[in-house]
Amino acid sequence: MNFGMLILALLAACVHGIEFSGSYSVVVTRPPIEIKEVAHIPPWGIGYYIPPKSTRMESGLPPEEEEEELKAKNEDGEYYVDAREQDLVVEDVRVGFDRGEEVGVGVQPGMLCVEDERPMGEDGINYCRRLTDEDKKRMERMSKNVVVLTVGSGESDAQTRLLRSAQVFQYTIQVLGDNQGPVADDLKLKLVQEAVAGVAKDHPDRLVLYLDGPDAILAAGPLRVVEEVTRDHEGPGGPVRVLLSADGVCWPDKSLAAKFPKLKVGRRFIDSGAFVGPAEHLHRIFTESAQGEKSLQELFTKLYLKDAVRKKYNIAIDHTNTLFQNLHGATGELELKFAGKEGYLQNTVYTTVPLVIRGNRNSKVMLNSYANYLARAWNPVDGCRECWENMLPIESLEASQFPVVTLAIFIPKPTPFLEEFFVKITAQKYPKERIHLYIHNMEEFHAPMVTEWVDSTGRLYKSLKYITHDAGAKEWHTKNKAIVHTLETGSDFLLVVDSMAHLDNPFAIKLLVEQNRKVVAPMLARPYKPWSNFWGALTSDGFYARSADYVEIVQNEKRGLWNVPFVGNAYMISSKLLADKQRVPSFINKLLEPDMAMCANLREKGVFIHVTNRLDMGHLVSADNFVTKHFRPEMWQLFENRWDWEARYLHENYSSSLVENATIAMPCPDVYWFPLFKERYAQDMIDVNENFGGWSDGSHYDKRLEGGYETVPTVDIHMNQIEYRYEWLEILRAYVQPLQLRVFEGYNNDVGPPQALMAFTVRYKPDEQPLLRPHHDTSTYTINVALNRPGIDFQGGGCRFVRYNCSVLDTRVGWVLMHPGRLTHLHEGLRVTEGTRYIVVTFVDP
């Protein structure tokens, strides 16, 4: 006898020698096996909302020390590496700027950083050394050498953004005109001429950088501008010149196209919406050559097309986007990149790094998307920097001084897990006495639950307006009325939340208030799916398109505050916007659904729409396949809303059976015991069956079966009778099979998921069927889930395995007993002496 056989013999002796009693547990440890599917992993992976540690973190602000660090990190110079200074000196200075020995200015061939062959640094992108104080002084002087002119067309989010980018790079910028609205082309020309004259008079050497409208952003510092203008771009004529942005089409007069010089590469035509040139030089052009032209476009086209004039003034078009990038028609050419902390836009066709990015024609949404990163709005090291600007810190306020929020809840259709929705609303850590409630329920199905919540919790709020389903009001109108309500109640913010939007983060409302944007939505996604409540891009006809960063944002690989063309389901709107008569949102736009309509209207009025995933805010429930005819209909939501289903129904310790070296209870030989469902599931399963009520009579004749004869009949209801067959099979596949693999090694279904013809709920009652005589199951293994409590809901009961004279009496609700079928585990259902006992039994792989 070898050693192994000896062990076996001893084991066999043990089994016969030991008596197992009901509560006796044997600890078995098994080698690890691969777990295919584990429940309860938060859908968002790392970064899933963890309750903040300090109160400062609660509000989304970094702890004090971190903030300090943030500042230190962002000091200019931090990311600049030492390099050979002499290489970076720009030699050819003919414009007469006070440029001293400037260090590197911009990306150009042969002037890349040595380190990793990519431009480095935060300003002008190509700084290849640490800046000294002296350098910084020079930079400051340099910034005075460029004056940015733009015609004011009224305050707007785009204009604020342009000014911000100018400030980031220390440009001097002048907004021309009265900034009260759109300006006609001829007036623009006049304003520019005057402004240029003004600059030329006092500072003839200064460069004027003109940007037509607010839909533009500066993506690097003034050094780049100086460098590009003085550099010899094309042909003879010297570097003193006017550089015009290029367009792929000739406008406004197409017939002039043929007159533009032919090019091998680049865009041939002029877009006078952006140009740069020395002030004095431009002033001369305007005074010497302008003869009553109606627009800058007309003037520059005329000058450019006359060879002599073009040469005289050295007017050039930026054919290859060295400075100016008009986004219209250029999508495929551009790539967003980072050099250290500096985001820049690379034109991959011309290998240039344009500095002025313009959302011309229909490319505003694209500009918004790039502007999420450019001008130091976001970088991969610090994440979102712009998020910290214009915040509304309420951390130190008394609860009674918190901004007032109108919380408008809309239930537009039958929505699963509405109960949890309300629990999360109630749990929001924002003083309820600072919240006006506005609720519109459109569904009769939900009326009892909503009314109950309103009765029990609604009175805790500052005020309550409840529009019931029988009012027959339309969502468009009640959403519009929510705006009126917000203003009437004097609220500072309106937070709209649809029933699909679960604000899991109890600080969600506070975070949104603090973010303090005109429109900001918490980023919500359906767990495991790329479906979210925002769009990163738009098709030309205004519908969903996926932006390059969409998936990264949805999966929280990038966190921040994103300017996007559409948000829905949940969003906060500032009363400043609601009170702005020009821009107040409306939920009506043709037949678009309310959120689409609102966003289309906001886009039209140039209001920026933001979504934030700076912290996890919550998730979206799908209401797509919610069959309310079922009793306890969420039981059926396993496929559509797995995450929510698990949160409600799966036992909280389910996955602890699946971890390596897990301790698994074995109350009788080869009978294993696992936590599977929450008590809630067990109760709902009883309710569903009792509500259905079609219990069999426990006789041998069973017309539900193929042969019509049942040898060991029970009083039961089959899963397919309650239309739960597919859900139950999925439970077997997703949750039961991984448990089986832990304990019955070597039995795995290479042939497919577990099968079960017999899956049913059994009812034992003293006056009906109190017990089941010993029998074998027609299964490879059987599971038996206890649905209610011994000693409380019923007396007696339990399962006895005859061969081992071992009984499991103290069955636990939601726990599953798993034992082999057929040969070894002859078993019986013990007598129930009082009350009713319910179990779910399934014969797996018959």
Ligand X SMILES: *[C@@H]1O[C@H](CO)[C@@H](O)[C@H](O)[C@H]1NC(C)=O
Residue number, 561 or 830, with CB nearest to ligand X: 830
Least Cβ distance, residue 830 to ligand X (angstroms) = 12
Closest-CA residue to 293 (of 277, 307, 305):
305
Residue number, 177 or 675, with CB nearest to ligand X: 675
Task: Tell me: cis bond preceding 252? Omega within 30 of 0 counts.
Answer: yes
Residue number, 624 or 660, with CB nearest to ligand X: 660
CA distance 26 to 645: 32
- Contact residues for 612 (Cβ-Cβ < 8 A; gap 6+): 387, 511, 512, 515, 520, 521, 522, 523, 560, 561, 562
Least Cβ distance, residue 676 to ligand X (angstroms) = 12
- Contact residues for 15 (Cβ-Cβ < 8 A; gap 6+): 669, 804
CA distance 17 to 14: 5
CA 740 to chain centre: 36
With contacts defined by CB under 6 A, how many residues of the chain interact with ligand X?
Answer: 6
Interface residue with ligand X, options 64, 389, 604, 652 (CB under 6 A): 652
Asked if 660 touches ligand X (CB under 6 A), the answer is yes
Contact pattern for ligand X over residues 755 through 794, marking x by CB under 6 A: ----------------------------------------
- Tell me the C-alpha to C-alpha distance, in Å, between residue 101 and each of 34, 40, 229, 494: 64, 61, 17, 54
State both tokens at 586. 């409306």
| Dihedral angle computed from the Cα positions of residues 186, 191, 195 and 197, in that order, rounded to the nearest 10 degrees | 50
User: One-letter amino acid identity for 366?
Assistant: M
CA distance 22 to 272: 88
Least Cβ distance, residue 814 to ligand X (angstroms) = 8
Which listed residue (517, 603, 812, 837) is catalytic?
Answer: 837
Using the contact rule CB under 6 A, the part of the chain among 46-54, 505-513, 631-639, 652-660 near ligand X is 652-660
- Crossing angle of helices 594-604 and 475-488, rounded to 10°: 60
Asked if 810 touches ligand X (CB under 6 A), the answer is no
Q: Which of residues 480-539 bind ligand X (CB under 6 A)?
A: none
CA distance 502 to 618: 5
Contact pattern for ligand X over residues 132 through 171, marking x by CB under 6 A: ----------------------------------------
Using the contact rule CB under 6 A, the part of the chain among 331-339, 409-417, 450-458, 653-661 near ligand X is 653-661
Least Cβ distance, residue 805 to ligand X (angstroms) = 4
Contact pattern for ligand X over residues 11 through 30, marking x by CB under 6 A: ----------x---------
Least Cβ distance, residue 823 to ligand X (angstroms) = 20
Residue number, 291 or 661, with CB nearest to ligand X: 661
Q: Which of residues 445-464 bind ligand X (CB under 6 A)?
A: none
Q: Residue 650 carries which DSSP code?
A: B
User: Do residues 227 and 209 touch, judged by C-beta distance below 8 A?
Assistant: no
Asked if 745 touches ligand X (CB under 6 A), the answer is no
User: Do residues 91 and 97 touch, judged by C-beta distance below 8 A?
Assistant: no
The sign one gets for the Cα dihedral 97, 101, 105, 108 is: positive
Residue number, 643 or 677, with CB nearest to ligand X: 677
Residue number, 13 or 263, with CB nearest to ligand X: 13
CA distance 563 to 582: 21
* Sheet bearing 618-620, strands edge to edge: 501-502, 618-620, 524-525
Burial of 572 (0-12, 13-18, 19+ CB in 10 A): buried
CA distance 459 to 593: 31
Interface residue with ligand X, options 180, 331, 653, 663 (CB under 6 A): 653
Interface residue with ligand X, options 291, 540, 661, 711 (CB under 6 A): 661
Residue number, 95 or 830, with CB nearest to ligand X: 830
Least Cβ distance, residue 675 to ligand X (angstroms) = 6
837 in active site: yes
Least Cβ distance, residue 661 to ligand X (angstroms) = 4
Residue number, 351 or 653, with CB nearest to ligand X: 653
Closest-CA residue to 559 (of 48, 75, 165, 51):
48
Residue number, 232 or 660, with CB nearest to ligand X: 660
In the complex, the residues that contact ligand X under the rule CB under 6 A are: 21, 652-653, 660-661, 805
Residues carrying an active site annotation: 837
